[in-house]
Amino acid sequence: MVESIVEWLTSNLTGAVSKELIVFLISMFPILELRGGLIAASILGIPYMKGIVICILGNMIPIPFILLFITPIFTWMKKQKIFRPMVEKLETKSMGKSEKIQKYEFWGLLLFVGIPLPGTGAWTGALIASLLNVDKKKAILAIYSGLFLATAIMCFVVYTIPWLLNLF
C-alpha cells in the first residue's frame, strides 16, 4: 500500500516540484512517514545519504506539534458532533497499540516507532505518548531515537538489499 501511494505521489508531482521536496512531504505525511519517504527517495534516484537527511527532517518536524497540541485539539473536536466519532476511533485505534508503551514507556515508545511495521511510526507514537501523558522530553527523545532505528532498518531494506541483489 505504501509503495502504491508513493508511486502515485511521485508520478503526479514529478516535474511540478523537486524530487527532494516530494520526499520531504511524503516523510511528513502520516502513515507514509520516513518509510514511505525512503522508498520514494530510492524510486526517484536520490542518493541514500541525501535521502536519509531529507526523510529524517521531514518526519521529525510534525512530532513536537503533535505532542504539544493533539490533546487540546482532540478535546475540542470531541465537543463537535461531526468530529467526535472520528476522534474516538483514532483514540481507540491508537490506544489499542499502546500496551508495550504503557509497560516500558521510553523503550516501548522507541521500539514502537523504530520497528517499521504497519500502524507504527512517529505520528502514532506521538499520539499515543500524548494520550498517555508521557513526559514530553522523554517522548521526543524516544520518538527521535526510534526514527534513527527505523532509518537504519529501512535503509537496509530499501538501499542495501537491492544493491546486494544487483551484485548477483
Digit-coded pLDDT (tens) for 49-73: 999 999 999 999 999 999 999 999 9
**Domain boundary pick from 60, 82, 105:** 60
| Residue that is last in its domain, among 10, 28, 60 | 60
Same domain, 74 and 97: yes
95 and 55 share one domain: no
What is the pLDDT, as a whole number, of residue 51?
A: 94
- Quick check: is 119 in a domain? yes
Q: Whole-angstrom Cα distance, residue 43 to residue 8? A: 12
Looking at the fold, whether 28 and 72 belong to one and the same domain comes out as no
CB < 8 Å & 24+ apart, contacts of 160-164: 162/42
159 within some domain: no
- Count of residues for the chain? 168
Residue 3 has what pLDDT? Answer: 66
Q: In this structure, is residue 29 part of a structural domain?
A: yes
Residues 51 and 101 in one domain: no
The grid cell for 128 is 499515543
Report d(CA 25, CA 18) in Å as an integer.
11
**Residues with pLDDT less than 70, the chain:** 1-3, 6, 10, 14
Residues 145 and 79 in one domain: yes
Task: Clarify whether residues 48 and 89 are in a common domain.
Answer: no
With vertex at residue 82, the alpha carbon angle to CA 78 and CA 84, rounded to the nearest 5 degrees, is 25
Q: Which domain holds residue 29?
A: 2-60
Structural domain contains residue 81: yes
Q: Classify the phi-psi angles of 30: left when phi > 0, otherwise alpha if psi is within -120 to 50, otherwise beta.
A: beta
Asked whether residue 79 falls in the same domain as residue 133, the answer is yes
Residues 92 and 140 in one domain: yes
Q: Name the residue among 163, 161, 158, 135 with its Cα closest to residue 37.
A: 158
Same domain, 125 and 98: yes
Whether residues 56 and 94 share a domain: the answer is no
Whether 75 and 124 map to the same domain: the answer is yes
Distance of alpha carbon 36 from alpha carbon 26, whole angstroms: 6
Number of domains in the chain: 2
62, 140, 126, 144: CA torsion to nearest 10: 70
Decide if 160 is inside a domain.
no
122 belongs to a structural domain: yes
